[in-house]
Structure 1
Amino acid sequence: MQSFVEELVLCVAANGGRGPALLWPEDPRTLPALLELPRPARPKPGVDLAVPGGPGAEELAAELGRRLHLRVRPLFRFLSADSFAVESAPNGAESMVTVLEGACRCVLSRVGEDPAPGPLHPLGMRLRSGSTLFVPHDRTYRLSEIHAPTTLLELHLEGTG
């Protein structure tokens, strides 16, 4: 897990204040370790839920926070198959969004822009299990095209705006 924290720190250092970035961890043990983090049970089908991270996610967030000199707030987001689009609320903080299980389409937009996805949208992508998206403080994201139960780990970097 230490290598994942180091990669997140480098990603924030390289992209903070500049723009979004997509990260695929180099260490093949990262995703299995993230999947072992204790988390609440998946809610029943048809329910989308965001819950604060548990002990393992808190430990990961604390280590990242120590390295970045910030408070990092973790949460798990559970999306059900065929969910309606889910949008992040602009909060002035940078975020790291890791897909643990499943996949979804993600469209990034600047705060105040229309996040409607389209074939020519320059910041639209498909996020799959194992990918981490760095979202700058001046962006929001919209998740859609969720065809299978999807679990995200969100790390909100407070104090970066």
Structure 2
Amino acid sequence: MPGQRALSEPLRSFVEELALCVAANGDRGPALLWPEDPMTLPALQGLFRPVRAAPDAGATVPGGPVTEELAAELGRRLHLKVRPSFCLLSPESPVVESAPNAAETTLTVLEGACRCVLSRADEDPAPAPSHPLGMRLRSGGTLFVPRLHTYRLSEIHVPTTLLRLDLEAAG
């Protein structure tokens, strides 16, 4: 298509792995993905993203042109509409919670780290570290959050940037 940018090999590899992860897990449950290509994280970190201004508690901002193309390619593979955004977290950020919805989501940590607790939308996410779906997300990891699940991000000790991809039925 005119105006389309070709994704680099590491980004194409990421899209392929992410598409397989989403297709394999679907409504079965959450999944954690670590890309096979060692150049994937540097390529993702090189995406245009907003400059971090003053600490803005869990600010979510839209993705740039290459991020849009990455989302479009993932959407083509999955036959879904994919909306990209960045979530900027700082140590001053309060706990960030998602609202339950009918969309699936992926969260890729581009830099930093945070604790994530997942639960089904009809359950209260326990803040205790022993929660069976609690984990520490670090740079390079991608978490697949199935529909009707919520997540809570906390324990943000350094500036953290997440690439969020919302997967919705194409309509």
TM interval, short-chain normalised? over 0.9
Structure 2 regions of 5+ residues with no counterpart? 1-10
Q: Which residue of 2 aligns with 1:15?
A: 25
- Secondary structure at the aligned position of 1:63 is classed as helix
Aligned to 1:139: 149
Which structure would you say has the larger Rg?
2
Cα shift at 1:13: 1.2
What is the aligned partner in structure 2 of residue 159 from structure 1?
169
- Specify the code of the residue in structure 2 equivalent to 1:87: E
**TM-score, reference length from structure 1:** 0.95
User: Cα 1:138–1:47, aligned 2, differ >3 Å: closer, same or farther?
Assistant: closer
SS of 1:16 mapped into structure 2: helix
Secondary structure of the 1:125 match is strand
Query: Out of 46, 54, 57, which is 1:44 matched to?
Result: 54
**Runs (4+) off by over 6 Å:** none
Over aligned residue pairs, what C-alpha RMSD do you find?
Answer: 1.2
Which residue number in structure 2 is paired with residue 93 of structure 1?
103
1:125 counterpart residue number? 135
Aligned twin of 1:105: 115
What secondary structure, in the 3-state scheme, does the structure 1 residue paired with 2:49 have? coil
Aligned runs of 1:24-35 on 2, under 5 Å?
24-35=34-45
For the residue of structure 2 that corresponds to 1:90, the secondary structure is: coil
Residue 94 of structure 2 is matched in structure 1 by 84
Number of aligned residue pairs: 160
Query: Distance in 1 between the 2:74 and 2:129 partners?
Result: 35
Distance 2:94 2:167 in 1: 26
**Which letter does structure 2 place at the counterpart of 1:53?**
G
> What whole-Å deviation, never above 9, does each CA across 1:45-70 have from its counterpart, x for those lacking one?
35431011111110100000000011
Residue 3 (1) aligns with residue 24 (2): no
Cα distance in 2 for partners of 1:65, 1:138 equals 20
TM-score for both structures, normalised by structure 2: 0.90
Partner Cα distance (2:126, 2:88) in 1:
22
Question: How many percent of aligned residue pairs carry the same amino acid?
Answer: 73
User: Which stretches in structure 1 are left out of the alignment for 5+ residues?
Assistant: none
Taking the aligned partners of 2:86 and 2:38, their CA distance within structure 1 comes to 22
**Does the 8 Å contact 1:82/1:148 carry over to 2?**
no
